[in-house]
Amino acid sequence: MVKRKSAVIACVLVFFVAAACTAMVAIPGTVFFLNIYQKRSPVAVEDGAQDLDYDLLAEISSYVQSYSIWAGDADILTRNAAQGIAYADNDVYAQYYTPEDYAELQQQQEGNYVGIGVSVSTDTTDGLVVVRDVYDDSPAAQAGIQVGDKILSVDAVDVTVLTMDELVDLVRGEAGTQVTLGLLRGADEVSVTVTRNEVIQHRTLWAMKDDGIGYIRITEFNGNAYTLFVQAVQELTAQNARGIILDLRNNPGGMQDIVVPIADILLPKGPVLSLVDRDGNLVDEDTSDSNYWGIPLVVLVNEYTASAAELLSGSIQDYEMGTIVGVTTYGKGVAQSFYPLSNGGVLKITATKYLTGGGHCPQDVGITPDIEVELPDEVYEDYTNRFCNPDYDAQYAAALGELARLIDAAPAA
């Protein structure tokens, strides 16, 4: 089985255009566990510490603006310099957002935007951009775009030689306009025309399966994930669900204030999340109360399960509230904070490590499943028809078997 971890974490993008404007940015932040703090003031550099050489930066800027044939305006130089400083400490999750970028990020997190309704990443096996998710009832779904499709062209422009940002620029547009994508689907090349429109992304999906088995999938911990999770719990309970499969595969993480209340529904009284700073000091802690669902539970994870999804699955494992099935998760145990800037922009940097309810940090190690099951490549190749089909999806089939065991072992009501 080909490991796809590096491809997914390198760049997961959502094709969208903010309703208030026609610009679009590539947002890698959906793969990260984000924590928004109150506004803080910059801290003065301590005596003896090495401060930035602002004279050197100004000198370089002068040469670039005076002589470079690719020189941009001052705003572009400022933006690139700010991003460079954010990255300077090897913080791969750092990001500088202009005010416009941050407004679009917030819209993307809420899940209501204008676009085609897919998320994509670069497949490191061939360098092509591949569709990782197609949102329900989106323009892309209506046009027949499928998970696993690889984008070869946009409006007849070959995008296999373009950067991700350049490809994104071609896909963007206003509501009501069309874009034609040339796709590689298996061994066949197909052309699909999509009409850009408003997309409402449902972050939690659920259904009642056979034998009283409830199925809940959380795609990421943003937007309406918590509200819909509560609705899922209510409806499945009303339908007398005997057990639940919680699918966190391909879930890249999300927001602290979304994942914590979901964890509170599933976990008994105790810590859910602890945040520690670079010196090991506890800076924040969330706990659950004594009220919880208490239904037999199996959690599906894979190598794309990251960050906040690892927090939830790891805490469920710590409290022995369910069985974890799949493969070892991505291994991201750090959280990012947003700091508002004087120009209206925002700086995102990695400010804390997080610990699961049992005090474990999954950074670089991930969450090890209780039952390890690989997902066959054929499921990725025909994701639409074989995902959650027990005849093909070995992880889902194993979850069904384990859940049946848990239900049989549960004390009678």
- Given this model, what pLDDT does residue 58 score? 86
- Given this model, what pLDDT does residue 305 score? 92
The more confident residue out of 372 and 378 is 372
Site of tokens 């906040």:
308
Question: Taking residues 136-156, what's their average pLDDT?
Answer: 92
- pLDDT band at residue 73 using 50, 70 and 90 as cut-offs: confident
- 292 burial (CB, 10 Å; 0-12 / 13-18 / 19+) is middle
pLDDT of 21 over the 70 cut: no
Look up residue 92 and give its two tokens.
């791969």
What percentage of the chain carries pLDDT values higher than 90? 52
- Give SS3 for 168: helix
Q: Which of 274, 318, 337, 348 is catalytic?
A: 318
pTM of the model: 0.77
- Given this model, what pLDDT does residue 19 score? 25
Residues 173-185 have pLDDT tens digits of: 899 999 999 999 9
Residues 208-266 have pLDDT tens digits of: 999 999 999 999 999 999 999 999 999 999 999 999 999 999 898 999 999 999 999 99
**Distance in angstroms (rounded) separating the CA atoms of residues 27 and 101:** 9
Strand partners, 151: 129, 183
Least confident of 71-75, 141-145, 256-260: 71-75
Which residues contact residue 383 at a Cβ distance below 8 angstroms, ignoring those fewer than 6 apart? 146, 147, 148
pLDDT of 268 over the 90 cut: yes
5 noted as active-site residue: no
Query: How far apart are the two ends of the chain, measured CA to CA in Å?
Result: 43
**Distance in angstroms (rounded) separating the CA atoms of residues 292 and 165:** 44
Q: How many residues are given for the chain?
A: 413
pLDDT of 188 over the 50 cut: yes
**Distance in angstroms (rounded) separating the CA atoms of residues 146 and 221:** 23
- pLDDT band at residue 40 using 50, 70 and 90 as cut-offs: low
318 noted as active-site residue: yes
Which residues contact residue 294 at a Cβ distance below 8 angstroms, ignoring those fewer than 6 apart? none
Q: Which amino acid is at 132?
A: R
**Domains of the chain, with CATH numbers?**
5-31+112-199 (2.30.42.10), 204-333+353-409 (3.90.226.10)
Q: Which of 150, 264, 315, 332 is catalytic?
A: 332
Q: Which of 307, 313, 315, 337 is catalytic?
A: 307
Average pLDDT, rounded, for the chain: 84
